[in-house]
């Protein structure tokens, strides 16, 4: 087994050559300063890379990732990233991005022990407990998982709004828009959960609106995509019991945003 990972260095050299060929001087310009407009707080899942999904280059997005895209009030790591991005880099958008089929959310939903991360995932279990009545009404585990992935984004977006970092920025009149999005592993598309907040006066209404939409969907949106893909002849989704961490990750075809 190669242990020096030469192949990764070769890929890196190739990538740098291609970027420089397409945009001469790209790296030396970035050397002077970074001016990202976006702060991405997402899941550490290898299938959800911020820059690639957004089609953005180095320098465009400031990134913080952890298991299950959790924003915890006492997490100095996330808070430091937010403070630096907002106070020093003046990012204008803070985007909390979850994804369907999240392994961390799955573990929290089913009380599955994964190790030390159980303690971290307690925060997602808090979300589950808060919305237990709604989740219990859903007809099956796949829909409960999809809904909990959305609810987790909603609650972590709310947490982001309530941090001293964002509150202080708003109180001094700085433009920071908080967003809550969810990503489909099955189709590569982002969806806006409409938890879009520009100031303290908008938090409650945005939360209520986004929550009502989640209740209305009932965890069905990602599943509807799977059903349409199955009808189109794509591989059917793996049964939930066989692939709990990727229950919604089967290939699927969904209409492009704005399509009928
Ligand atoms: Co995840």
User: Choosing from 102, 131, 161, 254, which is the catalytic residue?
Assistant: 102
92 belongs to the catalytic site: no
**pLDDT band, residue 233 (cuts 50/70/90):** low
Cα(25) to centroid(ligand 1), Å: 36
Question: Ligand 1 mean position to 246 CA, how many Å?
Answer: 10
**Catalytic site includes residue 99:** yes
Segment among 50-59, 158-167, 246-255 with least mean pLDDT: 246-255
What is the rounded average pLDDT of the residues 17-44? 95
Is-contact 37 63, C-beta < 8 A?
Answer: no
Q: How far is the CA of 68 from the centre of ligand 1 (A)?
A: 5
pLDDT tens column, 83-96: 999 999 999 999 99
Condensed to tens digits (0 to 9), the pLDDT of residues 147-199 reads 999 999 999 999 999 999 999 999 999 999 999 999 999 999 999 999 999 99
Whether the pLDDT of residue 251 is over 70: the answer is: no
CATH number at residue 115: 3.40.1050.10
Among all chains, which residue has been given the structure tokens 């709990």? 244
176 occurs within a structural domain: yes
Mean pLDDT of 113-135: 97
Does 72 reside within a domain? yes
Domain-embedded: residue 184: yes
21 located within any domain: no
Task: Determine, yes or no, domain membership for 255.
Answer: no
Number of domains, the chain? 1
* Rg, C-alpha atoms of the chain: 19
CB burial of 38-64 (b: ≥16 within 10 Å; e: otherwise) equals bbbbbbebeebebeebeeeeeebbbeb
**Which H or E element spans position 99?**
strand 93-99
> Is 167 inside a domain boundary?
yes
| Structure confidence at residue 162 (pLDDT) | 98
Told to judge if 110 belongs to the known catalytic residues of this protein, a careful annotator would answer no
106, pLDDT greater than 80? yes
Short-list 198, 162, 165, CA closest to 79? 165
**Cα 99 to ligand 1 centroid, rounded to whole Å:** 6
Q: Does some domain include residue 7?
A: no
**Could you confirm whether 245 is annotated as catalytic?**
no
Q: How distant, in Å, are the alpha carbons of 23, 46, 81, 176, 198 from that of 37?
A: 20, 23, 14, 10, 15
Domain, as residue range, for 225? 34-231
Phi-psi region for residue 156, left (φ > 0), alpha (ψ -120 to 50) or beta? alpha
- Ligand 1 (single-atom ion) residues, CB below 5 Å: 43, 45, 102
pLDDT value of position 230: 64
* pLDDT score of 221: 78
Show the CA angle centred on residue 251, arms to residues 245 and 256, nearest 5°: 115
Say if residue 65's pLDDT is above 50. yes
CA of 199 to the centre of ligand 1 (A): 28
pLDDT of residue 232: 64
Residue 173: inside a domain: yes
Residue 214 Cα, ligand 1 centroid: separation in angstroms? 19
Answer yes or no: 102 catalytic.
Answer: yes
* The one catalytic residue among 11, 47, 112, 132: 47
């Amino acid at each position: 087994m190669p242990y020096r990972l030469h192949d990764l260095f070769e890929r890196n050299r190739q990538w740098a050559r291609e970027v420089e060929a397409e945009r001469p001087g790209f790296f030396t310009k970035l050397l002077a300063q970074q001016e990202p407009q976006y702060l991405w707080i997402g899941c550490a899942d290898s299938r959800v890379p911020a820059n690639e999904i957004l089609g953005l280059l180095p320098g465009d997005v400031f990134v913080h990732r952890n298991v299950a895209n959790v924003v915890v009030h006492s997490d100095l790591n996330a808070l430091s990233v937010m403070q630096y991005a907002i106070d020093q880099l003046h990012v204008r958008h803070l985007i909390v991005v979850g994804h369907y089929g999240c392994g961390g959310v799955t573990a929290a939903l089913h009380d599955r022990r994964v190790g030390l991360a159980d303690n971290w995932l307690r925060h997602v279990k808090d979300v589950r407990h808060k919305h237990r009545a709604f989740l219990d009404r859903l007809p099956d585990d796949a829909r409960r998982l999809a809904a909990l992935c959305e609810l987790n984004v909603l609650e972590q977006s709310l947490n982001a709004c309530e941090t001293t970092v964002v509150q202080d920025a708003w109180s001094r009149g700085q433009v920071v828009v908080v967003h809550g999005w969810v990503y489909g592993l099955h189709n590569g598309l982002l969806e806006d959960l409409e938890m879009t907040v520009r100031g303290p006066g908008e938090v409650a209404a945005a939360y209520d609106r986004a929550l009502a939409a989640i209740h209305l969907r009932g965890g069905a949106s990602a599943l509807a995509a799977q059903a349409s893909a199955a009808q189109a002849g794509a591989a059917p989704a793996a049964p939930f019991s066989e692939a709990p961490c990727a229950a919604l990750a089967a290939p699927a075809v969904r209409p492009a945003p704005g399509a009928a």
